[in-house]
Amino acid sequence: MKKNMVLIIAVLIVAAIAAVYMTGGSKSGDSGSTASEKTLTFGCQMYSDGMICPWVQTNCAWNAMRFGVSECLFKFDANTNVVPWLAESIENSDDHRTWTIKLKSGVKFSNGNDVTATKVKYALDHVREQGPKGSSTPQNFLEFEAEVTADDANNTIVIKTVTPYVNLAGNLADPAMAIVDYESSTDPDHGLIGTGPYMVKEFNTQVGYDMVKNPHYRETVPYDNVKILFMGDASAKANALLSGQIDIAENIMSVADLQKLKDDANFTVDIAAGVRCGFSWMNFNGVLANDTLRKAIEMAVDRDAICHSNTIGDLYTPGYSVLPSTMGYGYDTLTNPYKYDPEGAMKLLDEAGIVDTNGNGIRELNGKDIYLRYVSYENRLLNDFSDAHTQYLNKIGIGVKSEYGSSDDQWNKLVAGEYDLNNNNWNHLIAGAPTTYLGNWCSKNKANYCGYKNEEYDELYAKLVDELDPDERLEILKRLQQILIDDAAVLVDGYYNSCMVYNNKKVGYAHILPMDYYWLSAEIRPAD
């Protein structure tokens, strides 16, 4: 009864917010739409308080692209191949240090300004100059030392780099590298001027965005208005779809809700095998510096049971490597020495003297009860994984103190090192390759937020960055994965599958891509 009452209250809250939002709850008090105009209402997760300035934070850069505001020179297609977007073509020198990019003609920003080579240069230079002030690390995609030269007469830019890049087009496809009119964006946090099909009319704090079509877009824009409505509760998006409050939603994360929508002929559920790995960082600067404790944790958790449970419901494919088993990185050649074995985990701890001496059910290390500080947030079922991990760890005498907050809380505590376990869901194909992602465990990288250090890993990672031969790169990738597995450096659960769900009476077509940078696109069209 109590659970039902909570659900009813949640639905009423969503309905109230949606009612305010749809009836002019913005600062202007008028949504500006008329009966003849086509309007889409989109329910989605809020990240970084909805900010969309690409250099401020990774999630901000993703917001801008997901909301249909920004675009890059290149993008990833349904097969995760890099294809031109604002660019027409790219050519590289034999040493992979000089790249000539031809821009598409006739592209404009949403304010009517032409996208010229000079504007593109300004955007690429500006995001790297501002990058150190934020955390989206644009220098990971284009080094600070790279020189960008603009040729407006030929509509080209030339990028010369110190480091050879395997595929610079993939790097330039990252949302942080979006081509936006920074010079004209007086409010880049919430009013960024981009080249996408939609532009910001108004930002409604903690509620969402009023969007209108970009009148200068190079293709037909299906909707005159889009109302983006932030929804964080696991069932809020599903309930809003079923009640007709929204037309489309990304990533319904309740198994029961998703199944209900699949069974309802009024809705289409579009699912794509994702490129995300669900894992928990292990902080080597704390109690988890103990090798035995980490290995025991790996052995205590049954990832297969969790991923196939009624809670997760196959929204994740179980796996033990940081790179997905479906992506051709040699997963079948890897070995897992820490398969699920709770009895073996307890024996391992006992033999290492990590035991419960005072009879309170919690083992001790260095004279202190082991209570792991576990940071997580409500998205992509991460809290459900954290809850499951806690139960498994309690069974072997490991205590857990859970901290559930927002995605910003999770990120800030990760960067500050304020955690023992930090649950996350990470896109491994940053810039179209796993190189940047695997840098999270290179001790020489700024993004090494867990304090892990392995000399062989560091040496191989440095080689991976410069290696251009695909066969050699694959061998390095396999070895890097195995090192992390052997060192019990990461608690991996599995690989997430993304989805887009829409009301067939309102939406005629929508599609989720494996690289989930692309939500609100010009491909989403009305049912009529």
List pLDDT tens digits, range 434-480: 998 999 999 999 889 999 999 999 999 999 988 888 899 999 999 99
**82, pLDDT greater than 80:** yes
Domain coordinates in residue numbering, the chain: 46-201+213-220, 273-497
pLDDT of residue 56: 93
Q: Which value, to the nearest 10 degrees, does the dihedral of the CA atoms of residues 440, 445, 449, 452 take?
A: 80
Contact 385, 344 (CB under 8 A): no
Strand partners, 501: 249, 269
Q: Which two tokens stand for residue 245?
A: 């409050």
What are the pLDDT digits (tens) for 97-130?
A: 999 999 999 999 999 999 999 999 999 999 999 9
Contact 245, 497 (CB under 8 A): no
The pLDDT of 489-514, averaged and rounded, is: 94
- Considering only 172-181, 266-275, 365-374, which range has the smallest mean pLDDT? 266-275
Contacts of residue 111, defined as CB under 8 A and 6 or more positions apart, other chains included, come to 181, 184, 193, 216
CATH superfamily of 273-497: Dipeptide-binding Protein; Domain 3 (3.10.105.10)
Q: Which two tokens stand for residue 394?
A: 């309690």
Percent of the chain with pLDDT strictly greater than 70: 93
Measure Cα distances from 137 to 143, 245, 509 in Å.
10, 37, 34
Nearest to 299 by CA among 348, 332, 360, 266: 348
Q: How far apart are CA 128 and CA 123, in angstroms?
A: 9
Q: What is the CATH number of domain 46-201+213-220?
A: 3.40.190.10
pTM, 2 dp: 0.74
In terms of C-beta density within 10 A (0-12 exposed, 13-18 middle, 19 or more buried), how is residue 315 classed? buried
Measure Cα distances from 363 to 98, 371, 387, 390, 491 in Å.
57, 9, 19, 14, 20
